[in-house]
Amino acid sequence: MKLSENQYKHIMRLKKSAIGLSLFLFIMLWITDLTFGQGRNQEVTIIAPYQPSISDVTKIPFKPEFKDTLVKAPEMSYSINSQRIPTLFEAQPLKPAFIQIDPEKLLHRNYLKAGFGNYKMPYAEFYSNSLYSNKYSLGFYVRHLSSQGGIKDYPTSAFSKNNISVYGKRYLTDKVVSGNLLYDRDVVHYYGVKQNADNVTLTDNDLIQRFSLFGADVSLASNSRSKNNYLIALNFWGLNDIFKTKESQIGLKGAYSSGNKIINVAKEENLGANLHFDLYANNDSLNHLVTVKTALNPYFRLNFDYLDLTLGFETVLAADTNSKTYIYPQAKLFFKIIPDYLRLYLSVTGGLQRNTLKSTSRENPWINTLFSFNFTNTKYNFKGGVTGKINQLIDFNFSASYADIDNMLFFVNDNISPFNPNIKENFGNKFISVYDDVKVTTINFEGNYDAPNRLKTTLVATYRDYKLNNLDRPWHKPAIETSIISRYFLKPEIALTGELFYVGKSYARLQDADQNITEKKINGYVDLNFGAEYFFNDKISAFAQVSNVTGTRYYRWYQYPSQRINVMAGAVFAF
């Protein structure tokens, strides 16, 4: 095959290239054999100092980048084309439902509770009130409780308690006018002596005591939501007993409070003052005494969200046979530790109290009304405590206080004064007063459990420690007093009640004609009471109660035993 000139030249070029490549490969193989072949059977040792080094590395350039995650909302444009669809129905306006509330059906104008018990004990209590009105309210109240006594081995222990009251209010545009009239008549007997003691027979006329009290008061008070409020009140009462001992009192009270902010640092600020003026007149077979007491109490109150602070003082002017001025602190603090659940309170207060025939006879009706009525001066009373609730059903209040008191009143049996003009023997069955300077520490706890329409229980426990200046004992004042009162609805129509009272031991002082003083221990006691009430409907119910269930003869006052078990039953009417 005959090649063209161009094909021949191409073949020659390929041969030359092949020859050149072969020659290059041969030279490279020879050089490699010389380089590595000479050291196959030789050992080479290199001695030189070690020089560590760090090789350069190629760094990768890096720059932080922040990615924006905000997504821009696209712009949109739209429109709503509303179109009413024609219908044949036309809605008519609806009239609101009218609920007629008849106060005559919801409220009862009258309430009557009456019963009868052993010891020939009738009981009646009646209330009558006007129904709802935004112009006025009127009411009437009467109560009677009596007993023929019947305590074994003792003379007549009959008693009666009678109360009548008429009250009312008149509501004006921005004020309220209030008034009240009352009359109390209480009868007791000084039965605290064993029958036929010293061969003396005591009749009802020898032992009877009767207290009659008439009182009236009238007041005018603001009745608006303005920041400024006021109160003006005037009262009077007169008391006398069967021995023609008399006491009367006229009192005037004024109060003013302004809610305008003064320093503008609190949520609420109140600047106010209270004014009291009292005049007492005492008359008995031996003495005639007029006493005046005037007290002024300015204060400033700051209310923050968690703190309520009141700062003030009280200055008192007292005058009887002589006059004297007193100044007392009046400071109170309330702090919310846990809002709605726990609150701390602290206070330092003081005051002057007039011991009156009215107050002492209500505490101890067997007093000798030839009584020494002095002022009791509480120089200061430090008090602190916490109050709050554990849940919606349980709340509590715990407090402790320390008071310095001058002329504190104590009752002791009167073994010196003649019993009455016709009987020379004295049986110590009346009480007179003694006074002493005392420092009193008080610890008090109150707890409530209230499940509406099911169970309500209240617990109160008090402990007092008396540090006396002159007296040997705090006569007739127990250190411990405790009570538990419960009301339980067994069914909606059946309610059960229970009361438990415990009063610790106390001491009585006796004094003979030779001025020899002895003390008598009065044992502590428990008074347990039960009751039940059955509701026929919302207007009629029946009740029964048992007092002093254990039938224990206990003594609150020395020589005066209580009645034993007492049973009463009756009914309640609302109409």
| Cα dihedral 461, 463, 464, 465 in deg (nearest 10) | 180
Between CA 160 and CA 288 the distance in angstroms is 29
DSSP codes of every residue in 99-147: ----HHHHS-SEEEEEEEETTTEEEEEEEEE----SSEEEEEEEEEEEE
Between CA 190 and CA 366 the distance in angstroms is 6
Between CA 489 and CA 487 the distance in angstroms is 7
What is the pTM (predicted TM-score) of this model? Answer: 0.77
Tokens for 541? 């119910």
Residue 515 banded pLDDT, cuts 50, 70, 90: confident
Between CA 506 and CA 523 the distance in angstroms is 7
Q: Is the pLDDT of residue 191 over 70?
A: yes
For the ranges 46-60, 318-332, 400-414, the lowest mean pLDDT is seen at 46-60
Q: What confidence score (pLDDT) does residue 37 get? A: 47
Collapse the DSSP code of 504 into the 3-class scheme (helix H, G, I; strand E, B; otherwise coil) and give the result: coil
Q: Is the pLDDT of residue 176 over 90?
A: yes
For the ranges 60-69, 146-155, 331-340, 426-435, the lowest mean pLDDT is seen at 60-69
Tokens for 383? 């008090």
Q: What confidence score (pLDDT) does residue 61 get? A: 57
Between CA 220 and CA 216 the distance in angstroms is 14
Collapse the DSSP code of 318 into the 3-class scheme (helix H, G, I; strand E, B; otherwise coil) and give the result: strand
Asked whether 119 and 170 are in contact (CB, 8 A), the reply is no
Between CA 558 and CA 515 the distance in angstroms is 19
How many helices and strands, by DSSP H and E, does the chain display?
A: 4, 26
Residue 65 banded pLDDT, cuts 50, 70, 90: low
Q: How far apart are the first and last CA of the chain?
A: 148
CA distance readout (Å), 310 to 57, 297, 303? 79, 12, 9
Tens digits of residue pLDDT in 87-128: 555 666 666 666 665 555 568 899 999 999 999 999 999 999
Between CA 556 and CA 476 the distance in angstroms is 8
Q: Is the pLDDT of residue 541 over 60?
A: yes
Q: What confidence score (pLDDT) does residue 153 get? A: 87
Asked whether 474 and 504 are in contact (CB, 8 A), the reply is no
β-pair type (566-574, 540-547): antiparallel
Q: What confidence score (pLDDT) does residue 35 get? A: 47
Q: Where are the beta strands (DSSP E) in 469-559?
A: 480-491, 494-503, 506-511, 517-522, 525-535, 540-547, 555-557
Q: Among 426, 21, 420, which residue's Cα sits nearest to residue 192? A: 426
Asked whether 383 and 400 are in contact (CB, 8 A), the reply is yes
Tokens for 546? 């048992």
Cα angle 458, 463, 467 (rounded to 5 degrees) comes to 160
Residue type (1 letter), 93: P
Q: Is the pLDDT of residue 510 over 50?
A: yes
Tokens for 163? 């109360």
Q: Among 76, 155, 149, 146, which residue's Cα sits nearest to residue 116? A: 146
What pairs with residue 540 in β-bridges? Answer: 573
What's the average model confidence in pLDDT over 163-179? 95
Residue 371 banded pLDDT, cuts 50, 70, 90: confident
Residue 544, judged by CB atoms within 10 A of its CB (0-12, 13-18, 19+), counts as: middle
Helical H runs in 160-281? 204-207
DSSP codes of every residue in 329-379: EEEEEEEEEETTTEEEEEEEEEEEEE--HHHHHHH-TTB-SS----EEEEE
- The overall average pLDDT reported for the chain is 87
What pairs with residue 232 in β-bridges? Answer: 220, 254
**More confident: 257 or 51:** 257
* DSSP at 409: E
Write phi, then psi, for 19 (nearest 5 degrees): -65, -40
Write phi, then psi, for 246 (nearest 5 degrees): -130, 150
Tens digits of residue pLDDT in 209-234: 999 999 999 999 998 778 899 999 99
